[in-house]
Amino acid sequence: MADTTASAEHTTVSTLGARLGAEALGTFVLVFGVVGAVLFAAGFNGGEGGLNIGFVGVSLALGLTVVVGAYAFGPVSGGHFNPAVTIGLAVAGRFAWKDVISYIVAQIVGGIIATVLLFAILAGGKNSDLTAQFKGASTGYDAISPGGYNLVAVLLIEIITTAIFLYVIIGVTSSRAASGFAPLAIGLTLTLLALIAIPVSNASFNPARAIATAIFGGPEALGQLWATVVAPIVGAIIAGATYKFIFDRTKKA
């Protein structure tokens, strides 16, 4: 199992049940944090009074949730919190294929629980069009893209940024990396990538986050969901399949 919290391997291995619980809870924290920031703070009061956090705030929220989750739950499960990460690490030989499906299910469940609770909280506000608000927090292209970017642009940004994300994860959790700093590097990488991708796709990188948001975003969000599920997985597979070829080559003495 690849651990996103440290370069050294654990001396003890948690049970599968404990790992799945950690993945569900970590994904819950991630989705609750970033989607909550989008729903409640990104456009607060229409930007009046300078109280809204905008793209920068949402990017920081995403990075911080990953840092917190990785430090808190990573020692138990490896801290994936993302189906694309799980698949990419399995392709790279850093995670057991036999546990991939169970990890993905746990991640999706954790994400959906987060958006169910966010929906309940949002229902207590003044804006009664909850579907429109979740549509605005969903990931996609054309009308859903904050910048109106088309499908090709969204697929490219999601593939490229997720591949970069996986390269960083694999690199900072390798035996050659400095111990203890992986969550910071991973969180800061996500913050950077979100600053690039939010205007284009609303920054998925994570099929569990995309699914959890789209289920409340109406028919258009659901219809576009495939793009921000497939593209991050493709990016993760590319990184997982090429990392060893690029970085793990050794020369003869």
Distances (CA, A) of 188 to 63, 100, 105, 175, 198: 6, 26, 26, 20, 15
Domain-embedded: residue 153: yes
In the chain, % of residues over pLDDT 90: 79
Domain-embedded: residue 215: yes
Domain-embedded: residue 5: no
Grade residue 25 by pLDDT with cuts at 50, 70 and 90: very high
Give dist(CA 164, CA 175) in Å, integer.
Answer: 19
Full domain range(s) for residue 177:
16-247
Q: Check pLDDT > 50 for residue 1.
A: no
Q: Check pLDDT > 90 for residue 198.
A: yes
For residue 154, the domain's CATH number is 1.20.1080.10
Grade residue 237 by pLDDT with cuts at 50, 70 and 90: very high
Q: Check pLDDT > 90 for residue 249.
A: no
Lowest mean pLDDT among 5-19, 41-55, 214-228: 5-19
Q: Check pLDDT > 90 for residue 92.
A: yes
Domain-embedded: residue 7: no
Question: How many domains does one find in the chain?
Answer: 1
130-180 residue pLDDT tens: 999 999 999 999 999 999 999 999 999 999 999 999 999 999 988 777 778
How many Cα atoms sit within 13 Å of 67 on the Cβ side? 14
- Which pLDDT score is estimated for 6? 46
Q: What is the mean pLDDT of the chain?
A: 90
For residue 227, what are the contacts with CB-CB under 8 A and spacing of at least 6?
139, 140, 141, 151, 154, 155, 158
Grade residue 8 by pLDDT with cuts at 50, 70 and 90: very low
Domain-embedded: residue 1: no
Domain-embedded: residue 9: no
| Stated pTM of the model | 0.90
Domain-embedded: residue 136: yes
Domain-embedded: residue 8: no
Scanning the structure block, which residue is given the tokens 């597979």? 237
Q: Which two tokens stand for residue 164?
A: 């970069």
Q: Check pLDDT > 50 for residue 4.
A: yes
Distances (CA, A) of 142 to 12, 87, 159, 185: 48, 28, 17, 32
Per-residue DSSP letters for the chain?
---TT-SSPPSS---HHHHHHHHHHHHHHHHHHHHHIIIIIITGGGGGGG---HHHHHHHHHHHHHHHHHHHHHHHH-S--SHHHHHHHHHTTSS-GGGHHHHHHHHHHHHHHHHHHHHHHHTTSS---HHHHHHHHS--STTSSTT---HHHHHHHHHHHHHHHHHHHHHHTSTTSPTT-HHHHHHHHHHHHHHHHHHHH-----HHHHHHHHTTSHHHHHHHHHHHHHHHHHHHHHHHHHHHHHH------
